Amino acid sequence: MSAAASDRLPLASLLALAMAAFITILTEALPAGLLPQMAQGLGVTEAWVGQTVTIYAAGSLAAAIPLTAATQGVRRRPLLLAAIAGFVVANTVTTLSGSFALTMVARFLAGVSAGLMWALLAGYAARMVPDHQKGRAIAVAMVGAPLALSLGVPTGTFLGNLVDWRVCFGLMSALALALMLWVRVVVPDFAGQAAGRRLSPGRVFTLAGVRPVLFVVLAFVLAHNILYTYIAPFLAAAGMEGRTDLALLLFGVASLLGIWIVGALIDGHLRALTLASTVLFGLSALVLGVAGDAPAVVLAAVAAWGLAFGGAGTLFQTALARTAGDAADVAQSMLVTAWNTAIAGGGLLGGVLLERLGVGAFAPAVLVLLAATLLAVWGARRHGFPDPADTAGA
C-alpha cells in the first residue's frame, strides 16, 4: 500500500505547474490571434502589434540566465509566486493601457517572468517525485504548453472577436491570481541552493552533457520554427490557402498525443524517444518537400510533425534536468535562452529562405538541421541522452 502511494504522482501540485505553463504560453502567443483588434485599440499598425510578441521573447532572453543565477539561493515557492505575480501585473497593465509604449513595457515584464518561469518549472516538478518518476512529472507540468497553443489561443481569439481583446488579458490576470492561491495551498516549498553548492552559468555550461542537449534544443527548435512560422505561405504554395486553421488544429491535437506518449514512456526510454521524434520530424519534412502538392499528404505530414514535436520540450528538459543535477534551474535557464534564440532564428532564417529561394527551400534546410540533431543525440549516449544500459552501469 505504501509502495503504491509512493508511486502516485502529486497531480494537484503538478497541474498547478501545468497551469503556470499554460498562462505563460497563452500570454506570449495571444496577440498573434488579436492583431487587428489590438492595433485598433492602441492606435498602431498590425506590424507594430506583432512586436509585442518579439519584445516578450526579448524579455525572456535577457532575463532567464542572469535572473535564475541570481536567485539560486531563494526558496522555490516564493520565487514561483513572484514569477506568476509578474503575469498578473503585466496582463493587468495590458488590459488597462491605452498607450502602445506602456503595453510594450508590460510585455517585456511578462517576458522576464516567462524566462524565470521556464527555468523553474522542470526542476520544480522533478524535485516533487523520486528519480524513476522525474520524466513523467515534467511531462505533466509541461502539458499546459500544447494546451495553450491548441485550445487557449483559438479560444482567446474567438473571445476577443466576440467581446473585446482587453477582456482576454483581464481574464488571464484573474487566472494568474487564482493560480497564486492554488500554488500557495498545494505546491510544496523547497529550499534554494546552499551558497557552497551554487554553480555559475559558465560552470554549468561545462558540465558533461549540457552542451549537447543545448545544441539539440537549438537545432531541433530552429528547424521547427522555420516551418511553423511560415506555415501559411507554405500551404498557400500547395494550393491550401484556406486550410491553415485545419493544419494548425491537426498539429495541436497531434502534439497533445505526442506529449502523452512521451509522458508514459520517458522515464525508461528518453534516448529512444528523442531519436524517434527527430526521425519522425525528418520524415515529415521530407514528405512535405516531395509531396507538397497533395493536400491529404500534407495534412498527414503536419500531423506527424505535431506528434514528433509535442513531447520534444519534455524530452529536452528532462535530459537537461538529469544531466545538470543540482544545477538544473540554471541549466534550464540556458534551455530557455536556446529555445527563444531558435524561435527568433526560425523567423529570420525562414524569412530569408522564403524571399530568396521560396518555400521549396524549407524542407532541405529543416532536414540539414535535423540531421545535425540526430548526430548530436546519437553521440551523447553517455552524457546528455544516455543509453539505458549505460545509465544502469553507472
Tell me, letter by letter, the H, E, C secondary structure of the chain.
CHHHHHCCCCHHHHHHHHHHHHHHHHHHHHHHHCHHHHHHHHCCCHHHHHHHHHHHHHHHHHHHHHHHHHCCCCCHHHHHHHHHHHHHHHHHHHHHCCCHHHHHHHHHHHHHHHHHHHHHHHHHHHHCCCHHHHHHHHHHHHCHHHHHHHHHHHHHHHHHHHCCHHHHHHHHHHHHHHHHHHHHHHCCCCCCCCHHHCCCHHHHHCCCCHHHHHHHHHHHHHHHHHHHHCHHHHHHHCCCHHHHHHHHHHHHHHHHHHHHHHHHHHHHHHHHHHHHHHHHHHHHHHHHHHCCCCHHHHHHHHHHHHHHHHCHHHHHHHHHHHHHHHHHHHHHHHHHHHHHHHHHHHHHHHHHHHHHCCHHHHHHHHHHHHHHHHHHHHHCCCCCCCCHHHHHHC
Tell me: pLDDT of 30 over 70: yes
Q: Residue 393: its pLDDT value, please?
A: 43
Domain 204-386 is found in CATH 3.40.50.300: no
CB 135 within 8 A of CB 267: yes
Query: Start-end ranges of CATH 1.20.1250.20 in the chain?
Result: 10-188, 204-386
Q: Residue 1: its pLDDT value, please?
A: 38
Eight-class DSSP state of 239: T
Q: Residue 172: its pLDDT value, please?
A: 94
Express the helix, strand and coil content of the chain in percent, nearest 5 each: 85, 0, 15
User: Binning pLDDT at 50, 70 and 90, where does residue 196 land?
Assistant: low
Q: Residue 3: its pLDDT value, please?
A: 47
User: Binning pLDDT at 50, 70 and 90, where does residue 55 land?
Assistant: confident
Q: Residue 197: its pLDDT value, please?
A: 66
Average pLDDT over residues 312-330: 85
Q: What is the pTM of this model?
A: 0.80
Q: Residue 80: its pLDDT value, please?
A: 95
The class level of CATH for 10-188 reads mainly alpha
- Neighbour-count burial of 19, counting CB atoms closer than 10 A to its CB (0-12 exposed, 13-18 middle, 19+ buried): buried
Average pLDDT over residues 356-381: 92
Q: Between 393 and 370, whose confidence is greater?
A: 370
Tell me: pLDDT of 62 over 90: no
Tell me: pLDDT of 192 over 90: no
Eight-class DSSP state of 298: H
Average pLDDT over residues 10-37: 89
Tell me: pLDDT of 84 over 90: yes
Average pLDDT over residues 134-151: 83
Average pLDDT over residues 303-319: 91
Q: Residue 389: its pLDDT value, please?
A: 56
Dist CA 35 CA 42 (whole Å): 10
- Neighbour-count burial of 152, counting CB atoms closer than 10 A to its CB (0-12 exposed, 13-18 middle, 19+ buried): buried
